[in-house]
Amino acid sequence: VPIIPGWVAADLDIGLLFFFAMAGLAVYAVMFGGWSSNNKYALLGGVRATAQTVSYEVFMGLSLMGIVAITGSFNMTDIVNAQKGCWFVFPQILGFLTFAVAGIAVTHRSPFDAPEAEQDLAAGYHTEYSGLKWGMFFVGEYIGVVLVSSLITVLFFGGWLPPFGFLSFIPPFFWFAIKTAFFIMMFILVRAALPRPRYDQIMDFGWRVCLPITLVNLVATAAVVLLLDQSAA
Three-state SS for 217? helix
Q: Is the pLDDT of residue 25 over 90?
A: no
pLDDT in tens, 43-63: 787 888 888 888 888 989 999
pLDDT in tens, 113-128: 766 665 555 556 666 6
Asked if residues 35 and 186 have their Cβ atoms less than 8 Å apart, the reply is no
pLDDT in tens, 140-196: 888 889 999 999 999 999 888 888 878 888 888 899 999 999 999 998 888 778 877
Three-state SS for 109? coil
Cβ atoms < 10 Å from Cβ of 133: 11
Of 10-14, 171-175, 220-224, the least confident: 10-14
pLDDT in tens, 85-115: 889 999 999 999 999 999 988 888 777 776 6
Asked if residues 105 and 144 have their Cβ atoms less than 8 Å apart, the reply is no
Upstream peptide bond of 5 is cis (omega within 30 degrees of 0): no
Asked if residues 74 and 16 have their Cβ atoms less than 8 Å apart, the reply is yes
β partners of residue 4: 7
Give 44 or 16, the one with higher predicted confidence: 16
Using the 8-state DSSP alphabet, how is residue 3 labeled?
-
Q: What is the rounded radius of gyration, in angstroms, for the C-alpha atoms of the chain? A: 19
Instruction: Please name which of 169, 155, 162, 149 lies closest in space to residue 84, comparing C-alpha atoms.
Output: 162
Three-state SS for 85? coil
Cβ atoms < 10 Å from Cβ of 119: 7
Instruction: Please name which of 86, 66, 88 lies closest in space to residue 152, comparing C-alpha atoms.
Output: 88
Q: Is the pLDDT of residue 69 over 70?
A: yes
